[in-house]
């Protein structure tokens, strides 16, 4: 039974853009929030049910044949503003790659090199995708667009930093092979 305010924020936030079914909500979170946020499937419906009980969300009466879109109520919009203003609780860091690399001497440079190269490729791919996404966002003109652009720029900056580090790290590890 998940009940973190962070999940609530994501759910209400996504519904603030447009009313959706739970199913569509999940897809929206994966697609548009995916590069910096994640909700597992089993969290969406309970979160929606709680939001409905709290009066933050209601089932839209609009004539849908299957499924019922949820829409934010005025209280929900208020609640979202409150949640957004709350300080983000920082996720404790857990970087599996660095954990392995830190003790890398135990397995030698070859295995480490493979890991670093793979991470570098993932980062390079992410950087490219975010470049494309950035170009898209810049074309949008609604009031939310500049904010969304900032999040894309963040992701891109991090992805580039990872990619460049991986390249340097690979060179160092290659030098350790001899």
Partner DNA sequence: TATGTCATGTAACTGGTTACATGATTGC
Partner DNA sequence: GCAATCATGTAACCAGTTACATGACATA
Say how far apart CA 84 and CA 81 lie, in whole Å.
5
35 binding partner (options DNA, a second copy, none; Cβ < 5 to 8 Å by kind): a second copy
* Residue closest to 29 by CA, chosen among 47, 43, 10, 16: 10
Query: What SS3 state is found at 138?
Result: helix
Which stretch in 46-54, 116-124, 158-166, 168-176 sits in contact with DNA by CB under 7 A? 46-54
In the block, which residue shows the tokens 């305010």? 5
Examine residue 150 and tell whether it contacts a second copy (CB under 8 A): yes
CA separation (Å) from 64 to 35, 51, 54? Answer: 31, 21, 24
Q: Distance between CA atoms of 166 and 124, rounded to whole angstroms?
A: 10
Cβ(25)–Cβ(44) under 8 Å? yes
Least distance in angstroms from the C-beta of 77 to DNA: 21
Q: Is 46 in the site for DNA (CB under 7 A)?
A: yes
Q: What is the rounded distance in angstroms from the CA atom of residue 76 to the CA atom of residue 45?
A: 16
Please, which residues bridge with residue 57 across strands?
72
Q: Which is nearer to DNA, 46 or 125 (CB)?
A: 46
To the nearest whole angstrom, how small is the minimum distance from the Cβ of residue 73 to a second copy? 15
List the single partner that 60 binds among a second copy, DNA, none, CB under 5 to 8 Å by kind: none
If one asks whether residue 42 binds DNA (CB under 7 A), the answer comes out as: yes
Among 11, 48, 57, 80, binds a second copy (CB under 8 A): 80
Of 18-26, 43-51, 55-63, 169-177: span binding a second copy (CB under 8 A): 169-177
Contact 90/157 with Cβ under 8 angstroms?
no
Q: Which does 84 bind (CB under 5 to 8 A by kind): DNA, a second copy, none?
A: a second copy
Judged by CB under 8 A, does residue 112 bind a second copy? Answer: yes
The residues of the shown chain that bind DNA, judged by CB under 7 A, are: 1-4, 6-7, 21-24, 38-43, 45-46, 48-49, 64-68, 92, 94
């Amino acid at each position: 039974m998940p009940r973190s305010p962070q999940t609530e924020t994501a759910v209400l936030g996504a519904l603030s853009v447009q009313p959706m079914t739970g199913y569509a909500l999940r897809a929206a979170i994966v697609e548009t929030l995916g590069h910096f946020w994640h909700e597992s499937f089993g969290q969406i419906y309970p979160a929606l049910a709680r939001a409905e009980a709290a009066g933050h969300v209601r089932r839209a009466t609009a004539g849908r044949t299957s499924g019922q879109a949820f829409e934010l109520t005025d209280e929900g919009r208020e609640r979202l503003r409150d949640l957004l203003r709350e300080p983000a609780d920082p996720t404790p860091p857990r970087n599996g790659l660095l954990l392995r690399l830190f003790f890398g001497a135990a397995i030698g440079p070859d295995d480490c090199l493979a890991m670093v190269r793979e991470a570098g490729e993932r980062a390079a791919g992410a950087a490219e995708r975010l470049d494309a996404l950035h170009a898209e966002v810049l074309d949008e003109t609604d009031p939310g667009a500049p904010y969304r652009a900032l999040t894309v720029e963040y992701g891109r900056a991090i992805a580039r930093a990872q990619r460049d580090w991986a390249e340097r790290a690979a060179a160092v590890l290659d030098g350790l092979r001899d």
